[in-house]
């Protein structure tokens, strides 16, 4: 395929955006988690402003997963750029996996909230929303959009 259809251009842009955001968030969280673990400069939600709120939860493995998801999108982008139409597969699976992990973290968040509700009643002082709001959750909005837009197309690949 020499020329990209407008569709695959859209997908390339999407792959770039998603890949960039996941990689960025993943790297920032990785650095923060590592430094918190090693006690260099602990990053705690409110105290470090917006950046602390978004990337505060020290979660080394979680950050690596973000990097992985980002890499899947970028890998797809490079394949699409070299004219390999199969690159779309990476976008599809990237969307799938990012939604999977968004679900995992949403469930963990819901679990923690319910747990603290059961133990402390409605005034949720034992629970920190910002701690549980992992980047995988809010970044998941982007792949969710992608999924909704291309849902039919992915299904149709069977035919």
3-state helix, strand, coil in the chain (%, to 5): 80, 0, 20
Are 127 and 112 spatial neighbours (Cβ–Cβ below 8 Å)? Answer: yes
Query: Is 147 one of the binding residues for another protein (CB under 8 A)?
Result: no
Q: Which is nearer to another protein, 89 or 137 (CB)?
A: 89
Q: Please list the alpha-helical segments (H only) found in the chain.
A: 6-38, 49-55, 60-81, 87-120, 129-132, 135-139, 141-156
| Sites for another protein among residues 45-64 (CB under 8 A) | 61, 64
Residue from 1, 40, 51, 108 touching another protein (CB under 8 A): that is: 108
Q: How many residues bind another protein (CB under 8 A)?
A: 34
Residue 102 has what DSSP assignment? H
CB of 157 to another protein, least distance (A): 5
Residue from 17, 28, 104, 137 touching another protein (CB under 8 A): that is: 104
Query: Is 114 one of the binding residues for another protein (CB under 8 A)?
Result: yes
């Amino acid at each position: 395929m020499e020329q990209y259809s407008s569709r695959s251009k859209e997908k390339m842009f999407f792959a770039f955006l998603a890949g960039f955001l996941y990689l960025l968030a993943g790297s920032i969280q990785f650095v923060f988690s590592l430094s918190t673990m090693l006690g260099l400069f602990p990053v705690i939600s409110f105290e470090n402003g917006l950046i602390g709120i978004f990337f505060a939860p020290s979660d080394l493995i979680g950050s690596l997963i973000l990097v992985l998801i980002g890499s899947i999108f970028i890998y797809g982008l490079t394949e699409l750029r070299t004219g390999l139409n199969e690159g779309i597969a990476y976008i599809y699976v990237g969307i799938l996996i990012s939604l999977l992990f968004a679900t995992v973290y949403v469930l963990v968040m819901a679990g923690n909230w319910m747990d603290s509700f059961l133990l402390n009643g409605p005034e949720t002082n034992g629970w920190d929303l910002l701690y549980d709001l992992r980047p995988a959750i809010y970044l998941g909005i982007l792949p969710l959009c992608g999924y909704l837009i291309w849902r039919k197309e992915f299904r149709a690949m069977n035919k």
